[in-house]
A and B are shown apart, each in its own frame.
Chain A
Amino acid sequence: RKEVEQDPGPFNVPEGATVAFNCTYSNSASQSFFWYRQDCRKEPKLLMSVYSSGNEDGRFTAQLNRASQYISLLIRDSKLSDSATYLCVVKGYSTLTFGKGTMLLVSP
Chain B
Amino acid sequence: EAGVAQSPRYKIIEKRQSVAFWCNPISGHATLYWYQQILGQGPKLLIQFQNNGVVDDSQLPKDRFSAERLKGVDSTLKIQPAKLEDSAVYLCASRALAVTDTQYFGPGTRLTVL
Contacts and interface: CB of A to CB of B under 8 A. Distances in A.
20 contacts: A32-B100, A43-B107, A43-B108, A44-B43, A44-B91, A46-B102, A46-B103, A89-B42, A93-B99, A94-B48, A94-B99, A95-B48, A95-B56, A96-B45, A96-B103, A97-B45, A98-B44, A99-B42, A100-B41, A101-B41
Interface of B: 31, 33, 40-45, 48, 55-56, 91, 95, 99-100, 102-103, 105-108
B105 A44 contact: yes
A4 interface: yes
Contacts of B33: 95
Given A43-B106, A43-B107, A46-B102, A98 B43 contact: yes
Nearest to B43: A98
Nearest to B99: A94
Contacts of A42: 107
Interface string A39-75: 0001111100000000000000000000000000000
Interface of A: 4, 32, 42-46, 87, 89, 93-101
Contacts of A44: 43, 91, 105
A94 B105 CA distance: 15
Most buried by A among B95, B99, B107, B108: B99
A82 B7 CA distance: 28
B91 A43 contact: yes
A108 to B, nearest CB: 26
B11 to A, nearest CB: 15
A3 B104 CA distance: 22
Contacts of B55: 94
A49 to B, nearest CB: 9
Nearest to B92: A43
Nearest to A87: B42
Contacts of B43: 44, 87, 96, 98
Given A43-B105, A45-B105, A46-B102, A95 B45 contact: yes
A99 B37 CA distance: 11
A100 B37 CA distance: 10
